[in-house]
């Protein structure tokens, strides 16, 4: 989908003002189908693995904190998702242009939350690696309805904003500012999640340095 400069400006202004922005129907039906076909293939081939918390030597699987299964994407390998990566490049360029962010890397994964799973309140930063600047989510839950659960709750200024995980909806927020959680889902919940980085994922950027 081709968005005008004015549309990008409105979204970037909202992100700058509120620390998050929600865009409905951000991706086309065609791209949605491409992502879901890829998701189904990875799931059928048992490529999704139990997600954990922490990085490198601090990585731990703690089902009492989060219950999703993920597959890390590789732009050079997962060519079926080239249109998605192109759209993320456009997003990155506009964040650099209108929000004056220094972004030089990204990391994305597909995520499935089985029924009954959740992710407790947290911030998308690691103590030992604080280079995540922007969190990006694209929801993939066709025919989601109230009662299905799996909403994301944003905690901001003593308020709670509940975001329903509707198919093709984009949620972007500042990784080091917005605390959030995924509420218990009553049906399988799908998303494509990632982070735009101050430095490449391989670089350890320590808080306070």
- Alpha-carbon distance 106 to 51, whole Å? 18
The closest alpha carbon to 201, from 113, 130, 101, 146, belongs to 130
User: For residue 128, what are its two tokens?
Assistant: 């030992």
Residue 169 burial (CB < 10 Å; 0-12/13-18/19+)? Answer: buried
Between the alpha carbon of residue 10 and those of residues 16, 19, 52, the distances in Å are 10, 13, 35
Strands 152-156 and 159-163: antiparallel
For residue 183, the SS3 value is coil
Judge contact between 208 and 168, C-beta under 8 A: no
- pTM of the predicted model as reported, rounded to 2 decimal places: 0.89
- Alpha-carbon distance 61 to 50, whole Å? 7
The domains of the chain, with CATH numbers, are: 5-53+61-197 (2.60.120.620)
pLDDT tens digits in sequence order for the chain, 209 residues long? 789 999 999 999 999 999 999 999 999 999 999 999 999 999 999 999 998 554 444 434 445 568 899 999 999 999 999 999 999 999 999 999 999 999 999 999 999 999 999 999 999 986 656 689 999 999 999 999 999 999 999 999 999 999 999 999 999 999 999 999 999 999 999 999 999 998 655 544 333 32
Total residues found in the chain within this entry: 209
């Amino acid at each position: 989908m081709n968005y005008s400069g004015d549309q990008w400006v409105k979204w970037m202004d909202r992100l700058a003002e509120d620390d998050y922005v929600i865009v409905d129907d951000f991706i086309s039906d065609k791209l949605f189908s491409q992502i879901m076909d890829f998701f189904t293939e990875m799931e059928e081939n048992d490529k999704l693995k139990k997600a954990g918390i922490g990085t490198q030597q601090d990585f731990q699987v703690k089902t009492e904190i989060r219950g999703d299964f993920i597959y890390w994407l590789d732009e050079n390998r997962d060519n079926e998702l080239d249109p998605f990566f192109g759209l993320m490049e456009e997003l990155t360029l506009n964040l650099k242009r209108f929000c004056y962010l220094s972004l030089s890397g990204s990391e994305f994964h597909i995520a499935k939350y089985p029924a009954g799973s959740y992710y407790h309140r947290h911030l998308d930063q690691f103590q030992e690696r604080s280079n995540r600047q922007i969190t990006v989510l694209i929801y993939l839950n066709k025919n989601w309805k109230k009662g299905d659960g799996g909403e994301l709750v944003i905690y901001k200024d003593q308020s709670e904003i509940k975001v329903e995980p509707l198919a093709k909806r984009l949620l972007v927020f500042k990784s080091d500012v917005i605390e959030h959680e995924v509420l218990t889902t009553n049906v399988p919940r799908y998303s494509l999640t990632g982070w735009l980085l101050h430095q490449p994922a391989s670089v350890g950027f320590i808080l306070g340095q």
